[in-house]
Structure 1
Amino acid sequence: MNKPDYSTYSMEELLDCQEMIDKEAWPERYQEILATIEPKVSASPSQAAVNKRIRFENFCYELSRELCWSLSDEFSSIASLFSEHYRNKLPNVTFPLN
């Protein structure tokens, strides 16, 4: 298997690799990814700002996925209880269709 050339990767690709790599199976590649990320983070102020924004956006995306799964699990358990318990107790409301 050919060794990846991380120097050609974009910041987003590097962050994906950092997150997805099996650190125990590929410790040297993980360290190489970190070593490739570091200069990009400490690059020119404008590039550093872009890289920080990418990292923040990735963090927010992952956090929102976790929250979504947590909320959907909680909501589905509450909704199932609600629908079973109150199915025949809720008033029947119809809306005029205009």
Structure 2
Amino acid sequence: MLIEANQLHLESVSIAGKLEKSLDSLSQQANAAEKIRLDSLAHLVELWEESVIEVPGFEHEHTGGHEHKPTPQMTDESMLEYQRNAKKAIQSIRAQAAGQVL
């Protein structure tokens, strides 16, 4: 269960990193109204990153200067569910970004 949770965690962090880079790039070329929307989405990504919890027992690379919160005590099932929800949340932000850009 924790292996699956860790895989979800790694996928989520990867999505967040790519999304952050994409938003930064788009923001540089955006007009004032688009820039406000993109900045808002970038802030959502930052908030998501602040809530990231690592899966215990797995090494993680820290890129972009973001540190993860210490892992709270939870069951393996709870950790898996948390990681599923975290991935859904970052995918939702990515979908909002795609909707704003198109």
Q: Same fold (TM over 0.5)?
A: no
Greater relative contact order (CA < 8 Å, ≥ 6 in sequence): 2
* Range class of TM-score, shorter chain: 0.3 to 0.5
